[in-house]
Amino acid sequence: MATKQRVRSKNNSNISDVSKGLVLEALFSSIDTSKTGVITSVQFWNELKKRGILSDDPRLSDVKDAFDKACIGSKKGIDFSLFCETIKHALLVHKTLRGELCIPDFSGFCDEITDIFKEVKSNVNGNVANYIPQLARVNPKYFAVSICTIDGQRFSHGDTNTSFCLQSTCKPINYCIAHEELGEEKVHQHIGREPSGRSFNEMALNSDGLPHNPLINSGAIMCSSLIRRNIPIADRFDEVIKTWTELSGDVEPTFNNSVYLSEKQTADRNFALAYFMRENKAFPENTNLIETLEFYFQCCSIEVKSDSMASAAATLANGGVNPLTGKKVFSDGTAKNCLSLMNSCGMYDFSGEYAFKIGFPAKSGVSGALLIVIPNVMGICIWSPKLDELGNSVRGVEFSKKLGERFSFHNYDSLINNSEKKDPRRHKYESKMDNVINLIYAASCGDIDEIKRIEAKGVDLNVSDYDGRTALHLAASEGQFEVVDYLIKRKVNVNAKDRWGGTPLKDAKKSNHVDICNKIEKYLSK
Ligand code: GLN
């Protein structure tokens, strides 16, 4: 909080060392609750975990190394000055401990998720999919839930160490891959975007002779024919694996060969659909049908754990940028189109009811997986293999209902005044302003990775705070040479003026950062 006011304050144009010290001191004492003057690595990671940030978070690998190093030889833990040194560049740690992530009361939220989990667990209705023998053998008792917010706060509960195959949850992602490469128009020359009103493998095409949408079998087979058509099939499969790795925050998925073989052997309907589409000239010219079908079955047989699927869902919730790595996996336009389709067609023949009653985009698969997106908030994965007659996970649907009853996550809940539902997220305006504040703060403390992550979200690096101070102003006055160098390379406005008419060059001169003055002057003279 103190830092925020500092950035906005009128008469103090820099985040001073004093104020930074105060913030760090407050953070330190929030961990050192028993006032021993030191904190251990276990205490530190526990505090972060309570707020949803886990020790395997790829954004914190440097902090983890630094912490481990600092703790060597000091069983008791590290003191305040070592703590400051260790986390000084890690904006994520600061934000986490200050309660400034997407869901501030994360542990309270997780308690509610666990509550829902318990309630839903008693529902043992439904049957595992039996049309693919290998799926029929899965333990029907499995039940897992994972969540990942757009700030990378994570929580998993239940059978989260067991992998399951994607089945139809591969469909939205394959659509995104094709969309990313070919664009909306080209993709939809071959696939419609209307709900079919029929079951997922119905022999039916729309009045143009095309599959109704990419999220039922016919449309997914079509998408498979569109993905990277000009490279060998093995490379096309690698492309899908690479995408899932990125969506999962750098965790590579596995492949279940027996599901693939079993699926291929029992695929009469999918073959029939493909021939039916070929008869209607729906495929691009020179499509190899067998190869396309096999590719589709392979994508269905990719396996992930629930936390990876939640991270993939969170990437869609975050406009295509993975929250854990900051990597832009899909453009925001691709994510938007995918979510629109998930909203109208993601739950097979239950899509209309799901959109009406529950009201957030989701995609189910016959493995019992359910990939849910709460746009701008989080991704959720629920996995429970028993299905209803429509092919959706029984517990997945019940979980969604309960989630929608407790929290204002329905697309149009924002219209309801005096809603009884809870809203766990930070205020929208506040989080927009956060981007600006975080960028400027990251520039002042030299956290280039964080700057890149904010940039990947589409934030203009020229934005300024209330005082007209830009990231470059702060980097220049705080002596952050590498940040200055990066911002100049990214072509920000080097002559930006703050409300007192100050430029980054003036700031660098005032604080006597000679290397930065030289850098800026050299750039300006060009
Ligand atoms: N592999 C399955 C099929 O094509 C996927 C269907 C699904 O998950 N609904 O039959």
Q: Is 168 in the pocket of ligand 1 (CB under 6 A)?
A: yes
Residue 321 per-residue DSSP state: B
Name the domain boundary from 76, 97, 118. 97
Residues 214 and 329 in one domain: yes
Kindly report the CATH number assigned to the domain that includes residue 373.
Answer: 3.40.710.10
Q: How far does the centroid of ligand 1 lie from the alpha carbon of residue 200, in Å? A: 8
SS in 3 state form for 77-139? CEEHHHHHHHHCCCHHHHHHHCCCCCCCCHHHHHHHHHHHHHHHHCCCCCECCCCCHHHHCCC
Atom number of ligand 1 nearest to Cα 217: 4
Residues 489 and 371 in one domain: no
Q: Which residue is closest in CA terms to ligand 1's atom 6?
A: 168
How much is the pLDDT for 428?
56
Q: Is residue 421 assigned to a domain?
A: no
Q: Is residue 102 assigned to a domain?
A: no
How much is the pLDDT for 75?
67
CA–CA gap between residue 490 and residue 503 (Å, rounded): 17
CA–CA gap between residue 391 and residue 168 (Å, rounded): 10
Q: How far does the centroid of ligand 1 lie from the alpha carbon of residue 365, in Å? A: 7
Atom number of ligand 1 nearest to Cα 167: 8
Atom number of ligand 1 nearest to Cα 365: 8
- Mutating to test ligand 1, I would choose from 167, 216, 218, 387 the residue with most ligand atoms within 8 A of its C-beta, which is 167
Selection from 405, 423, 404, 419 nearest residue 362 by Cα: 404
How much is the pLDDT for 437?
85
- Within 13 A of 156's CA, how many CA atoms are on the CB side? 19
Q: How far does the centroid of ligand 1 lie from the alpha carbon of residue 315, in Å? A: 23
CA–CA gap between residue 483 and residue 516 (Å, rounded): 10
Q: Is residue 74 assigned to a domain?
A: yes
Kindly report the CATH number assigned to the domain that includes residue 26.
Answer: 1.10.238.210
Residue 35: exposed, middle, or buried by beta-carbon count in 10 A (0-12, 13-18, 19+)?
Answer: exposed
- Mutating to test ligand 1, I would choose from 165, 170, 217, 349 the residue with most ligand atoms within 8 A of its C-beta, which is 217
Q: How far does the centroid of ligand 1 lie from the alpha carbon of residue 327, in Å? A: 29
CB neighbour burial string for 87-126, b if at least 16 within 10 angstroms, e if fewer: bbbbbbbbbbbbebbbbeebeebbebbeebbeebeeeeeb
How much is the pLDDT for 453?
84
Residues 408 and 358 in one domain: yes
Question: Which H or E element spans position 505?
Answer: helix 504-510
Atom number of ligand 1 nearest to Cα 269: 10
Selection from 94, 118, 113 nearest residue 154 by Cα: 113
Q: How far does the centroid of ligand 1 lie from the alpha carbon of residue 168, in Å? A: 5
The tally of domains found in the chain comes to: 3
Write the DSSP string, 342-390: HHHHTTGGGHHHIIIII-S-EEE-TTSEEEEEETTTEEEEEE---B-TT
Q: How far does the centroid of ligand 1 lie from the alpha carbon of residue 366, in Å? A: 6
pTM reported for the whole predicted model: 0.85
CA–CA gap between residue 58 and residue 80 (Å, rounded): 25
Q: Is residue 335 assigned to a domain?
A: yes
Q: Is 249 in the pocket of ligand 1 (CB under 6 A)?
A: no
Q: Is 167 in the pocket of ligand 1 (CB under 6 A)?
A: yes
Kindly report the CATH number assigned to the domain that includes residue 501.
Answer: 1.25.40.20
The residue with tokens 């890690």 is 90
CA–CA gap between residue 305 and residue 204 (Å, rounded): 33
Q: Is residue 103 assigned to a domain?
A: no
How much is the pLDDT for 18?
53
Q: How far does the centroid of ligand 1 lie from the alpha carbon of residue 390, in Å? A: 12
Q: Is 200 in the pocket of ligand 1 (CB under 6 A)?
A: yes
Sign of CA dihedral 267, 272, 273, 277: positive
Q: Rounded to the nearest 5°, which phi and psi values hold at 406?
A: -85, -35
How much is the pLDDT for 17?
53
Atom number of ligand 1 nearest to Cα 367: 8
Residues 123 and 228 in one domain: yes
Q: Is 293 in the pocket of ligand 1 (CB under 6 A)?
A: no
User: At residue 198, what is the residue type?
Assistant: R
Q: How far does the centroid of ligand 1 lie from the alpha carbon of residue 333, in Å? A: 26
Name the domain boundary from 415, 450, 476. 415
Q: How far does the centroid of ligand 1 lie from the alpha carbon of residue 164, in Å? A: 13
Residues 121 and 251 in one domain: yes
Domain housing 446:
432-525
Q: How far does the centroid of ligand 1 lie from the alpha carbon of residue 147, in Å? A: 24
How much is the pLDDT for 131?
87
Q: Is residue 140 assigned to a domain?
A: yes
Q: Is 217 in the pocket of ligand 1 (CB under 6 A)?
A: yes
Q: How far does the centroid of ligand 1 lie from the alpha carbon of residue 198, in Å? A: 14
Q: Helix, strand, or coil here: 412?
A: coil
Selection from 18, 57, 140 nearest residue 394 by Cα: 140
Residues 270 and 202 in one domain: yes
Name the domain boundary from 367, 389, 415. 415
- Mutating to test ligand 1, I would choose from 366, 367, 370, 388 the residue with most ligand atoms within 8 A of its C-beta, which is 366
Q: Is residue 427 assigned to a domain?
A: no
CA–CA gap between residue 467 and residue 498 (Å, rounded): 6
Q: Which pLDDT tens digits describe the chain residue by residue (526 residues)? A: 333 333 333 333 344 455 566 667 877 888 887 788 888 888 899 999 999 999 999 999 988 888 888 877 666 788 888 888 888 778 899 889 888 899 999 999 999 999 999 999 999 999 999 988 999 999 999 999 999 999 999 999 999 999 999 999 999 999 999 999 999 999 999 999 999 888 888 889 999 999 999 999 999 999 999 999 999 999 999 999 999 999 999 999 999 999 999 999 999 999 999 999 999 999 999 999 999 999 999 999 999 999 999 999 999 999 999 999 999 999 999 999 999 999 999 999 999 999 999 999 999 999 999 999 999 999 999 999 999 999 999 999 999 999 999 999 999 998 887 788 888 887 655 666 778 888 998 999 898 888 988 888 788 999 998 889 999 999 999 999 999 999 999 999 999 999 999 999 999 999 999 999 999 999 999 8
How much is the pLDDT for 71?
78
Residues 63 and 129 in one domain: no
CA–CA gap between residue 315 and residue 522 (Å, rounded): 40
Residues 411 and 456 in one domain: no
- Mutating to test ligand 1, I would choose from 128, 169, 201 the residue with most ligand atoms within 8 A of its C-beta, which is 201
Q: Is 337 in the pocket of ligand 1 (CB under 6 A)?
A: no
Residues 393 and 330 in one domain: yes
Residue 159 per-residue DSSP state: S
